[in-house]
Structure 1
């Protein structure tokens, strides 16, 4: 980052650092209702032509109290703007910095990219152990919106995915005023119709749930079935019924060797949503892009650094240290990511 640019960011941060008290736990998020202090907890730098920020959630709002690991933001100032935002939700206990490659790819496609830190310390299936099928929906609703929907956890509006996203977008308007961040929220509400939301594992389930509840620009589940019953690996009740987002805007990508999520269970869940209307499942290893427009894609590709984790195939679709690379260092699944999550039109 140039000295002049840093000075501009610091000045804007000081201006934003004055604020009011937190909103109470039962009220909607007010972006101006919690103290923001962008003079600390912010790292901004240039990386291979991209403008990158690491932002502590607590710097964007004093009302955020859980999981304070940094959000990750990437923008390509030379890309043709798409008018869309890419938001990626990490898997259980994963950190935003584990998913930089897909964020960089989205940024270069003209989608300002956010990898959002949220309350992901436990898998939804663990929270719902010995619970009813409705538990999965209740837990996801609370993590996403902050509505008191489940007795299995406590997530307030500011700590919820939507609250954290609005606070971050508001902060980015000062940190990076040229990237149009204000167009992606309407006051306290994200403009999901302008947002491509994706996620890995638990995060992929949240992206599917969001696409059921509201109209999103795109929703992609990487290594995720949404939720499956633990013994039968059959889709849970919330995957049935009507969806606000048309099926042609939803996609899924999974390894056929996934150790955590049943691939057949994922296909069954995606079929419930209607993704089978577009063909598939199709292996990206055996056929070339764009895979005849299929929305259910699979792979048998071996993960990099497979010995580093217990479940490498679960992360091969999108985790930085596991997803395969071409000889030039480009992600092998870059075309998959683009087709499902940030298409050119």
Structure 2
């Protein structure tokens, strides 16, 4: 993949999912809307690429609210990036039983990602699932932004995405769905910020279409996902411990022992909410007091670009990490 742009630059594009694909619709039963209550569009999708940077031929699909600061960095690594609007608002509405069924949330995540019937709790058709929304968006981008060479990510027959060249990424709820989807569909890698969780679910231990060494995670130790043994559980059930120990990035330099499990413990004033969102670029992230630059630039680059075949020394599962939360 090479760019042939007479005016190399970073391109930032937005579009409404419902304008790209007329089949896209709202699902008010799970508070998933095309237009917000204020009348403003709720289905905006975002994309960016930088043709000044040599492309790696990988597409990042981000499953959370748009974060242009993160996209700027992803683009600087030579990666394409999109954020899609898909039926993901079910989380606070469905599977609220106590205890929740061990497949309830995992099945909804897979239905929301694929638009296939995996759950009795929701009815999410193909046009409103992540896979189809991403495919339709990339098709649109190929026409609207030919300088970005988006067509590279379409299959030869043009009927889908080349998932082997897709990096699934997200934070919190989004990272959990990214990891669940990667169990079903082989992808290039998974980048999970502050996740995955789903501590009462068992999908993490299912056979994975995506090789285990392609899952990467980064979270803060004061995040509730750590204090509740959610992240250590998911990371071990997925198999990430086979490729290195948990490494504190504030005490270790890249390539962080080639591990897949990264943590930080920088001072967040004991604020668990800040800790949760501190691992992506933004106001909660750590900055160098002298330069004002983010402290975890090397970590973000590592997560998205470290060669998946370079792995660390495996370690046993931690017996202190609670696996069964039932």
1:121 alignment partner, one of 86, 89, 106: 89
Match of 2:188 in 1: 217
Question: Structure 1 215/227 Cα, relative in aligned 2: closer, same or farther at 3 Å?
Answer: same
**TM-score normalized with structure 1 length:** 0.75
CA RMSD of aligned residues (A): 2.6
Does structure 1 residue 57 correspond to structure 2 residue 17? yes
Question: Structure 1 111/287 Cα, relative in aligned 2: closer, same or farther at 3 Å?
Answer: same
Q: Distance in 2 between matches of 1:109 and 1:76?
A: 9
Q: Deviations over 1:1-38 (max 9, x none)?
A: xxxx9xxxxxxxxxxxxxxxxxxxxxxxxxxxxxxxxx
Unaligned runs of 5+ in 2: 27-32, 34-41, 309-326
**TM-score normalized with structure 2 length:** 0.79
1:201 alignment partner, one of 172, 194, 205: 172
Match of 1:101 in 2: 69
1:151 alignment partner, one of 120, 144, 156: 120
2:211 alignment partner, one of 239, 246, 249: 246
Match of 1:163 in 2: 132
Does structure 1 residue 318 correspond to structure 2 residue 280? yes
Match of 1:294 in 2: 259
Contact 1:256/1:263 (8 A) holds in 2: no
2:60 alignment partner, one of 82, 86, 90: 86
Q: How many residues align?
A: 284
Match of 1:30 in 2: none
Alpha-carbon offset, residue 88 of structure 1: 1.1
Question: Structure 1 73/135 Cα, relative in aligned 2: closer, same or farther at 3 Å?
Answer: same
Alpha-carbon offset, residue 303 of structure 1: 5.2
Q: Deviations over 1:158-203 (max 9, x none)?
A: 1110011011001101111122212213234321110111111111
Does structure 1 residue 76 correspond to structure 2 residue 50? yes
Match of 1:341 in 2: 304
Question: Structure 1 69/330 Cα, relative in aligned 2: closer, same or farther at 3 Å?
Answer: farther
Unaligned runs of 5+ in 1: 6-45, 230-235
2:162 alignment partner, one of 191, 195, 212: 191
Question: Structure 1 334/49 Cα, relative in aligned 2: closer, same or farther at 3 Å?
Answer: farther
